[in-house]
Amino acid sequence: MVNLSSLNDQPCPWDTPSVIPLLFAFSTDLSNSGKDELERYREIDNNANESPAIPIMCVAGRGYWRFDPRESAEKWIKHLPTDNFDEIIDLIAGIANTIPDQIALRGRPRFGHYILNERDYPKM
């Protein structure tokens, strides 16, 4: 984790990870009447309530959970599912809202450098 400057050049009050992991699933093997994905996740990640390895989870038809370390009490926020799968739209909105903040914190790396294979290109 790196502690970088915020949008107004003040130190961020939280650590900024190099990568923000997330879990997306189209379905689950959990029953509707039992525990939810966050409860299952808390059973396997001992740091789920302080510094989760996966701070963002979305399961179509079940919900979207995001960890916010700035919250004073419960740091996990759940977006309830809808018949129109708004939880997926909420996930996409969260990603879209995070990108400008991460660009401001890290600069503007060129996306193409991540996908181009290094090789020689003939000059014509």
- Quick one: residue 97, left, alpha or beta (phi over 0 = left, psi -120 to 50 = alpha)? alpha
- Measure the CA–CA gap between 33 and 65, rounded to whole angstroms: 18
Q: How many CB atoms lie within 10 A of CB 31?
A: 7
Q: Residue 90's pLDDT band (boundaries 50, 70, 90)?
A: very high
Residues 6 or more apart in contact with residue 106 via CB below 8 angstroms: 4
For residue range 24-69, list pLDDT tens digits in order. Answer: 999 998 888 888 899 999 999 999 999 999 999 999 999 999 999 8
The pTM score is: 0.69
Q: What is the pLDDT of residue 13?
A: 53
